[in-house]
Amino acid sequence: MKRRTLGYMLTLSLPLVLAVFGCNSNNSTNPPATADVVINIVAENGANSYSPNPANVTVGQTVSWHNVAGTTHTATQNGGGFNTGNIGNGGTSSPIQMNTAGDLGYHCSIHPTMVGTLHVTP
Ligand SMILES: [Cu+2]
């Protein structure tokens, strides 16, 4: 009876142990990409495509774009510079660090009428 109870407890605890270690190894291989500032891509709608717009950022902070607009978009700096690459619906870009102060215009490379501005302060 005692032996049977021990076996039962081991059977119960094994999935727990696996779950804990599974989580840890996931986190170490895929560190959460949390940016200081997250801008939502909300629609294909000119200057109302990105929210907030303009967005305020301090030099050294990171920015991610989170796409809830239904189709693939990008945030691409005008004239070169930062570029998120394609962000599918529901996706979030990798954080991009802003190292230059100024008003940085950007757009969607797929839909050039989608425009936004990052107001980067020193
Ligand atoms: Cu787009």
| pLDDT, tens only, 83-121 | 999 999 999 999 999 999 999 999 999 999 999 999 999
Using the predicted structure, report yes or no on whether residue 54 has a pLDDT greater than 50. Answer: yes
What spacing in Å lies between the alpha carbon of 93 and ligand 1's midpoint?
14
Residue type, 15: P
Is the pTM higher than 0.85? The answer reads no
Between CA 61 and CA 55 the distance in angstroms is 12
What does the pLDDT average to over 67-96?
Answer: 97
Domain 37-121, CATH class in plain words: mainly beta
Q: What is the mean pLDDT of the chain?
A: 84
Using the predicted structure, report yes or no on whether residue 29 has a pLDDT greater than 60. Answer: no
What spacing in Å lies between the alpha carbon of 95 and ligand 1's midpoint?
18
Between CA 74 and CA 66 the distance in angstroms is 10
Strands 50-51 and 37-41: what pairing?
antiparallel
CB 116 within 8 A of CB 61: no
What spacing in Å lies between the alpha carbon of 69 and ligand 1's midpoint?
9
Token pair 């990171």 in the structure block, residue: 62
What spacing in Å lies between the alpha carbon of 80 and ligand 1's midpoint?
17
